[in-house]
Structure 1
Amino acid sequence: MATIAPIVRITDDGFALWQGDRLVAAHSADMPMVTVGRGTADIEMFRGNFRLSDHVETRTPLAHARVIEAQGDDAPVRIDLAEREGAPVALSLVVQSDALLLESHDSAVNRCWLRFSTDGVEKIFGLGEQMSYLDLRGRVFPVWTSEPGVGRDKTSAFTQAMDAAGNAGGDYWTTNYPQPTILFERGTALHVDTHAYCAFDFMAADHFIIECWDIPAKIELFAAPTMADLVSALSTRFGRQPLLPEWANGGTIVGLKQGEASFARLERMIDAGVPVTGLWCEDWVGLRITSFGKRLFWDWRWNRDRYPHLDRRIAALAAKGVRFLAYVNPYLAIDGALYQEALAAGYLALRQDADMPYHVDFGEFDAAIVDFTNPDAAEWFADRVIGREMLDLGIMGWMADFGEYLPTDVRLFDGMDPMLAHNAWPTLWAKVNARALELRGKTGEAVFFMRAGGTDVGHYCPLLWAGDQSVDFSRHDGIGTVITAALSAGLVGNAYSHSDIGGYTSLMGNVRTAELLMRWSDLAAFTPVMRTHEGNRPDENLQVDSTPELLDHFAAMSQLHADLAPYTRLLCEAARTTGLPLQRALFLHHEEAMDSDTLQTHYLYGRDLLVAPVIEADATRWTCHLPQGTDWVHLWTGAHHAPGSVTVDAPIGRTPAFYRADSSHAPFFADIATRHVARLEAIGL
């Protein structure tokens, strides 16, 4: 797809940079496009939560610009920027057909502030996987991978209490998967080519500022006729995932962590009608009990005490079409055998002040970092750990957790500055997991899922999950955030997203209600992968099989998910050719649908099915926005509705959903709805 090359126009007081009819940036002596400086960062990390501050020593606006005209049609335009006329050139912008190259001429400079233009009304999206806001206007968004935090609302007493307990409360911008890429509603995008800390300031109406703790190599520019075409182009740039295996779409992955007792629970679920295609036992490595809850023993080997016959169990499950899934992360507990093996081979990241492994406090135990900048260490983890300990055992999937914890005072094998390695680490971790699949010929057959991410993670990670939501309906950390997460991540090239049914984090007496658990299952039925999680405190929280009523409801919703599999499969195949995510913001097919009230609470599942999950407690009716261009059919009643706002009954088990009246899949949707309603009526819903 052809892009729109930027054009430099000289003005009376500087220059303007245009991309088609869009003003990208304007420079004048009073309002320079680029400011450079020098700063010293102050970073505090506590269990994946970060406090970041910067002592800015110098800050110099580059007020004087000298535009050097291109010599030839295809030659780039060069703009030399200096503090004032006659001063040495501090930085040069090289305007190429699809990017702005930044060339610093002062080695002492390690900060820059870039000023770009907006029209004052257009919406801005992107920045990786965001949890709180899809439209970014009016706020500042730092780009730094971290724990998202618990609560994520600085005005709430719950978040404030978590902040007091180790800076763990988070904020609206904290995310496992940030990426310095933004999209504008008129079909253009830019990406900052750096792994350094950045902050995007969208507070002003007519411009935004990108602060960067480095001089980025370039600013990549994209343009497309439609928003869907733009997302397709970004997916090409950042990587399209391999096709998900059919078993991941065709049934439910049940997460249990009761050791050998998990298998009997699984059989009871199957007997209740749950179409299970995966059993996920993250406790396959054994448990470590802490004040946070039941934690795993981070030595990535089969724990024969907790699962004495796991090899035979895996084979028996496979014979019934059920895959076994496990858990791994990129750290090694210092009291485990694999730690000693990695230590002896020199595969661990080191302290800066000594030739000793760097140990990270993960809450009542320490772990070391496998140094993925060392090619031998990365290959060891892919082949020796994931390959031999997991894939060779018959494990066909796993949660590839963490990735966002890399400290900024660690010493790495290749000499990389850890301040730059930090945001790059999730992609390096994804690459190790993808390499493990490649080594065993399991790409597209086995699957791993990650919460951490960053630039280029789509090249390697086949499936995202939305991280550790609180077990509630809260605005910034509850069920609704998984919709925003899927939509925002999908805009930068990630086709597949899913979440822990019921949420994960249960602290300070906050526990799942039956309503929350059922509403989450209702939502998950309309996602690419449906997977349960018992959470960090399973004994204190309801599970999908805690009562006959919950199990009946879960069976019905998982059967609906399985019924949708043929349609989901078509969307997966389309994702490989178009790069479009399965869960899509309405504006990807209806660009007039930019209403912020519904922008991040509704989504299109493919082009033909609109889903508006109930994400508030005690709601029995739900207002939905139906886009222009077609009539819509209510999935559960068959009632036709014109475009616009409509309020429908929304009982548990019947997520508000509509399909296009002119859809070729209309008979399919009507058929699965009939079967689903009959199942609900049979269990009294």
Structure 2
Amino acid sequence: MTSQQTGSDDLELIEQNDGFTLIWQQRLILRHTAQAPCLWTGAGEADIAMFRGNFSIKDKLNEKIALTNASVTKQRTGWTIHFTRGDAVSATLIIDTDTAGRLQLRLQNEASSHNRIWLRLAAQPEDHIYGCGEQFSCFDLRGKPFPLWTSEQGVGRNKQSYVTWLADCKENAGGDYYWTFFPQPTFVSTQKYYCHVDNSCYMNFDFSAPEFHELAFWEDNATLRFECAQTYVALLEKLTNLLGRQPELPDWVYDGVTLGIQGGTEVCQQKLETMRNGGVKVNGIWAQDWSGIRMTSFGKRVMWNWKWNGELYPHLAERIQQWNREGVQFLSYINPYVASDRDLCAEAAKRGYLTKDAQGKDYHVEFGEFYAGVIDLTNPEAYNWYKGVIKQNLIALGCGGWMADFGEYLPTDTFLHNGVSAEIMHNAWPALWAKCNYEALEETGKLGEVLFFMRAGYTGSQKHSLMMWAGDQNVDWSLDDGLASVVPAALSLAMSGHGLHHSDIGGYTTLFDMKRSKELLLRWCDFSAFTPMMRTHEGNRPGDNWQFDSDAQTIAHFARMTTVFTTLKPYIKQAVAQNAKSGLPVMRPLFLHYENDPRAYTIKYQYLFGRDLLVAPVYEEGRRDWTLYLPQDSWVNLWTGEECGGGEITVNAPLGQPPVFYRAQSEWASLFNALRLI
């Protein structure tokens, strides 16, 4: 047995008779023997079918071969390890550090026919694992495989539920626990290291085995990076140094709720007046149908022709100026596709700016009873043209923000200007879409003033997506696709380096006889007052859902909770500033600040809002009390002033008083105390 080190004490490789171990900052990263190899390669053919953003993915696997033999060669800054199995199968692993001092593992298949890699990272049975982007069903990922592929999040997302079965029967749209708009090949281990993979191919991170994590890559190469830290706070700072951070939000975001309204200029004006007359703090109107509507069997859809529709929204430009003078922003909507039957698509086609099919013709995607062309964002001319559409049609109109929707629909059989396979570009697509929006703001001097928010993402979204929203939850109480699912989604994304997250108040998806109840809307409103942004959505079938102005009691409830939100403005702004400065997320898992509490690592439906507030949303129908867990500290009930220590407690939780506690030693205690007077 021989031990070799680089110039740093951090990295050590120990050779044994039939293998090696790799240690990075006292963490065992790789363990290889002929009997238990760490590397496999093989060949497969992807079988990927898309229907309205829902993907059926299979691998026609021809072979998967364990590379049992490993030959180590010392290099100046690390090692090159040549893996073989027989004469025709080989791969190379280069181990070194990057320019920032991170551990770097670079894998390359050497058999030209091999386009699959499986790498096993060493693990300990007691490890907890977090991240992998935005995960709605799981927070601790240990014990399950997580395929990483951006897609629709699924309707129901639980194969045991009736709603999921119905959605699967109708259009393969039910989803499963791992379906997500925002996957990311990044995970954090409770050994206090992160692992990030640079690639964008289809991957499967399997955390099922007690002694290893198996990472599968549908590509002939992969680059992995690792960093360690003594605390999770420091680890997230390192991770966001690598990935980038969101800038601070525009100040107006903290001044109330953004009302999701459709129906035209006067409908917006009427609903705005109703809510303000009822005492509701309103910071904006979000009218996703600003470009017109298209009615489908799914419900009311937006017309995907990104121009102000003067018939539905007469005098909009003048009204935007009026609303701005009153402290109300106007927000619109756009996505990276253009309706095939409208003039913006015709212009893009004439310029050659759409992705192509195998015959070189423009590729059009079916989006649910209509088709749309895909703007080829890999074409610099198309990218700049579309960025110009955002500048001219949204920013110049006076929009204070917009939903930058979709991004996950790139078909794998389309052809792109940059020559890269659409299968490889698919995951990277939403981050490229985010960059287009970000640059439109940057180049018009509107960063920090205008906000866009997205549902789809990938590596790179940290730097360019200003705010995430959780996508299309059901208007129900389900754990996997209702109110509860938003909490692990926010926490998983936080552990993946994106610290700004919110959701549609009341959910969105209204199918299979679902109807949003008054109670669900009010509970969701309670929860949203303790997130970085409050915003409502009518849902895809507004007439089936309880709305923010459905009765006087609902309006009064929004008045109360928007007052709570605006009172917390200085506290939330400080938390958002911390995220921009150091990558410390606004919504945080409990273990981030209570590392020595074993229970904190298993809680996925509570969170810390900033450092000093602990929030436990009520996510079950008909409840008026709630049981939650407090880490050991001195806590004060936000609504009653009652003091308590740690442990499991049950509290009263009427509507309008979600279970929230603050740290007694907080510098914000006087601000929190003021909320009891609201």
Whether these two folds match at TM > 0.5 is yes
**Corresponding residue number in structure 1 for 2:635:** 632
**Corresponding residue number in structure 1 for 2:81:** 79
Contiguous gaps of at least 5 residues in structure 1: 677-685
**Corresponding residue number in structure 2 for 1:351:** 357
Matched, 1:398 2:399: no
Is the contact between residue 91 and residue 107 of structure 2 (CA under 8 Å) also seen in structure 1?
no
Is the contact between residue 78 and residue 94 of structure 2 (CA under 8 Å) also seen in structure 1?
no
Is the contact between residue 278 and residue 322 of structure 1 (CA under 8 Å) also seen in structure 2?
yes
Separation of aligned partners in 2, 1:515 and 1:164: 30
TM-aligned CA deviation for residue 280 of structure 1:
0.4
Separation of aligned partners in 2, 1:150 and 1:440: 38
Is the contact between residue 116 and residue 220 of structure 2 (CA under 8 Å) also seen in structure 1?
yes
**Corresponding residue number in structure 1 for 2:276:** 270
Q: 2:415 aligns with which of 411, 414, 433?
A: 411
Give the AA of the match of 2:556. Answer: D
TM-aligned CA deviation for residue 107 of structure 1:
2.4
Give the AA of the match of 2:560. Answer: A
Matched, 1:64 2:66: no
Separation of aligned partners in 2, 1:80 and 1:28: 14
TM-aligned CA deviation for residue 87 of structure 1:
6.4
Give the 3-state SS of the residue equivalent to 2:349 in structure 1.
Answer: helix
Matched, 1:174 2:176: no
Give the AA of the match of 2:579. Answer: A
Is the contact between residue 495 and residue 579 of structure 1 (CA under 8 Å) also seen in structure 2?
yes
**Corresponding residue number in structure 2 for 1:619:** 623
TM-aligned CA deviation for residue 598 of structure 1:
5.6
1:36-60, Cα deviation, whole Å (9 max, x unpaired): 0111010110000000000111222
TM-aligned CA deviation for residue 554 of structure 1:
1.2
Give the AA of the match of 2:167. Answer: M
Give the 3-state SS of the residue equivalent to 1:269 in structure 2.
Answer: helix
**Corresponding residue number in structure 1 for 2:218:** 213
TM-aligned CA deviation for residue 62 of structure 1:
0.8
1:417-496 matches, cutoff 5 A:
417-496=421-500
Give the 3-state SS of the residue equivalent to 1:219 in structure 2.
Answer: strand
Is the contact between residue 501 and residue 532 of structure 1 (CA under 8 Å) also seen in structure 2?
yes
- Tell me: CA distance 1:322–1:4, structure 2 relative to 1, closer, same or farther (3 Å): farther
Q: 2:60 aligns with which of 55, 61, 65?
A: 55
Give the 3-state SS of the residue equivalent to 2:392 in structure 1.
Answer: helix
1:500-555, Cα deviation, whole Å (9 max, x unpaired): 00000010111111111100000000000000010100011110110111111111
**Corresponding residue number in structure 1 for 2:338:** 332
Q: 1:655 aligns with which of 642, 658, 666?
A: 658
1:556-575 matches, cutoff 5 A:
556-575=560-579
TM-aligned CA deviation for residue 89 of structure 1:
4.0
TM-aligned CA deviation for residue 208 of structure 1:
1.7
Q: 1:253 aligns with which of 246, 253, 258?
A: 258
Contiguous gaps of at least 5 residues in structure 2: 1-7
Give the 3-state SS of the residue equivalent to 1:300 in structure 2.
Answer: coil
Give the 3-state SS of the residue equivalent to 1:285 in structure 2.
Answer: coil
> Which deviates more from structure 2 when the two are superposed, residues 614-623 or residues 140-149?
614-623
Is the contact between residue 186 and residue 227 of structure 1 (CA under 8 Å) also seen in structure 2?
no
- Tell me: CA distance 1:497–1:570, structure 2 relative to 1, closer, same or farther (3 Å): same
> Which deviates more from structure 2 when the two are superposed, residues 18-27 or residues 633-642?
18-27
Matched, 1:198 2:203: yes
**Corresponding residue number in structure 1 for 2:326:** 320
Give the AA of the match of 2:368. Answer: G
> Which deviates more from structure 2 when the two are superposed, residues 86-95 or residues 539-548?
86-95
**Corresponding residue number in structure 2 for 1:133:** 138
Give the 3-state SS of the residue equivalent to 1:228 in structure 2.
Answer: helix
**Corresponding residue number in structure 1 for 2:295:** 289
1:627-678, Cα deviation, whole Å (9 max, x unpaired): 12x211111111111111111111110010111111111111111x2222xx
Is the contact between residue 402 and residue 452 of structure 1 (CA under 8 Å) also seen in structure 2?
yes
Is the contact between residue 103 and residue 227 of structure 2 (CA under 8 Å) also seen in structure 1?
yes
> Which deviates more from structure 2 when the two are superposed, residues 101-110 or residues 294-303?
101-110
TM-aligned CA deviation for residue 77 of structure 1:
1.4
**Corresponding residue number in structure 1 for 2:677:** 675
Give the 3-state SS of the residue equivalent to 1:264 in structure 2.
Answer: helix
Separation of aligned partners in 2, 1:378 and 1:256: 30
**Corresponding residue number in structure 1 for 2:4:** none
TM-aligned CA deviation for residue 239 of structure 1:
1.2
Q: Give the structure-1-normalised TM-score.
A: 0.95
Fraction of identical pairs, as percent: 45
Is the contact between residue 434 and residue 464 of structure 2 (CA under 8 Å) also seen in structure 1?
yes
Q: 1:306 aligns with which of 307, 312, 318?
A: 312
Separation of aligned partners in 1, 2:215 and 2:601: 27
Separation of aligned partners in 1, 2:489 and 2:497: 13
- Tell me: CA distance 1:598–1:558, structure 2 relative to 1, closer, same or farther (3 Å): farther
1:100-249 matches, cutoff 5 A:
100-249=105-254
CA RMSD, aligned part only?
Answer: 1.4
Separation of aligned partners in 2, 1:597 and 1:257: 42
Separation of aligned partners in 2, 1:653 and 1:209: 45
Separation of aligned partners in 2, 1:93 and 1:143: 24
